[in-house]
Structure 1
Amino acid sequence: MKINKQLSGIAGEYYVAAEITRRGYLAAITLRNSDGVDIIASNIEGDTLFSIQVKTTQNKRKWILSQKVENETSEKKFFVFVNIPTDIAIQPEYFIVNSKVLASNIYEGHRRWLCQNGKNGKVRNDSSVRQFEPRWFKDEEILSWDQLFELL
């Protein structure tokens, strides 16, 4: 079942919060108008804090980002890309990337894209649109939930 974009985004945040909580951490979803952080998470003791930016799609493995993602510098911030299948019997898919790794790869990938010719051999124009696709990342750059919590 396909749901609208707003509900999809909300569902993605709650799926991620649930996964964090399942692993014994606290997860607080921020207000809808918070820029850059969707979830603030901590261990029970409160001495390990990290933040999450959630990006959600339905039935595809491509996420649109803005240019500002290239300026991410926090070691304690992670992006979780959620793919929610339209078949509700299938669980969501997660791709977890440290913000610094994402920033570097998106920056370099966009520069490579600009150097290539577009349709009909035309020079590409720069834009503020960026895209995350897991296939362009090394396996070790995309974390599992267990790997994320080992890093903390």
Structure 2
Amino acid sequence: MKINKQLVGVAGEYFVAAELSRRGYLAAITLRNSDGVDILTSNIDGSKSFAIQVKTTQDKKKWVLNKKIEDEVTKDKYFVFVTLYSDPSKYPDYIIIKGSDLGKFIKEGHQNWLKNPGKKGQQRKDTSIREFNPSYIDQSKLMSWDGFVDLIEG
């Protein structure tokens, strides 16, 4: 069952918050107008906290981003990419990456894309659209939930 794009985004945020809560951490979903931060999470005593931005797709393993992601350098910000499935009996897939690692990867990838000719040999034109495809990134930069919560435990 295909669901509305806006609901996909909201569902992704709630799945991430639920996963953090299930693992024993505080997870507060921010208001919709909080630019760049969807969830604030911390350990129970609040001594270690992180900002999370959630990006969600349905039935795909690629996410469309904006150029501003290239400037991401915030120390304690992470991105969680969520894939929801049309089949509601399938659980979501998650990809977790530090924001600064993502920014660097997106910037380098886009510059390489611009350098290479298009399908018809033409020079590519720069746009503000970026794409995150995790199959092209150094897999050591990606985290599991266990790796991420180890950071929260610090």
Q: TM-score range by the shorter chain?
A: over 0.9
Question: Root-mean-square deviation (CA), in Å?
Answer: 0.7
Local SS of the residue matching 1:54: strand
Instruction: Tell me what 2:77 maps to.
Output: 77
Instruction: Tell me what 2:64 maps to.
Output: 64
Instruction: Tell me what 1:51 maps to.
Output: 51
Deviation at 1:117, TM superposition (A): 0.3
Unmatched segments (≥5 aa) in structure 2: none
Instruction: Tell me what 2:141 maps to.
Output: 141
Deviation per residue, 1:75-100 (Å, 9 max, x gap): 21000000001001110000001001
In the alignment, the residues of structure 1 paired with residue 151 and residue 40 of structure 2 have an alpha-carbon distance, to the nearest angstrom, of 16
Which stretches of structure 1, 4 residues or longer, exceed 4 Å deviation after superposition?
A: none
Local SS of the residue matching 2:51: strand
Local SS of the residue matching 2:9: helix
In the alignment, the residues of structure 2 paired with residue 149 and residue 76 of structure 1 have an alpha-carbon distance, to the nearest angstrom, of 13
In the alignment, the residues of structure 1 paired with residue 2 and residue 95 of structure 2 have an alpha-carbon distance, to the nearest angstrom, of 20
Instruction: Tell me what 2:93 maps to.
Output: 93
Unmatched segments (≥5 aa) in structure 1: none
TM-score by length of 2: 0.97
Deviation at 1:139, TM superposition (A): 1.5
Deviation at 1:151, TM superposition (A): 2.4
Deviation at 1:52, TM superposition (A): 0.4
Local SS of the residue matching 2:120: helix
Matched-pair identity in %:
54
In the alignment, the residues of structure 2 paired with residue 22 and residue 141 of structure 1 have an alpha-carbon distance, to the nearest angstrom, of 24
In the alignment, the residues of structure 2 paired with residue 118 and residue 4 of structure 1 have an alpha-carbon distance, to the nearest angstrom, of 32
Deviation at 1:140, TM superposition (A): 0.9
Deviation at 1:33, TM superposition (A): 1.3
Aligned-partner residue type, residue 28 of structure 2: A
Instruction: Tell me what 1:103 maps to.
Output: 103
In the alignment, the residues of structure 1 paired with residue 18 and residue 101 of structure 2 have an alpha-carbon distance, to the nearest angstrom, of 24
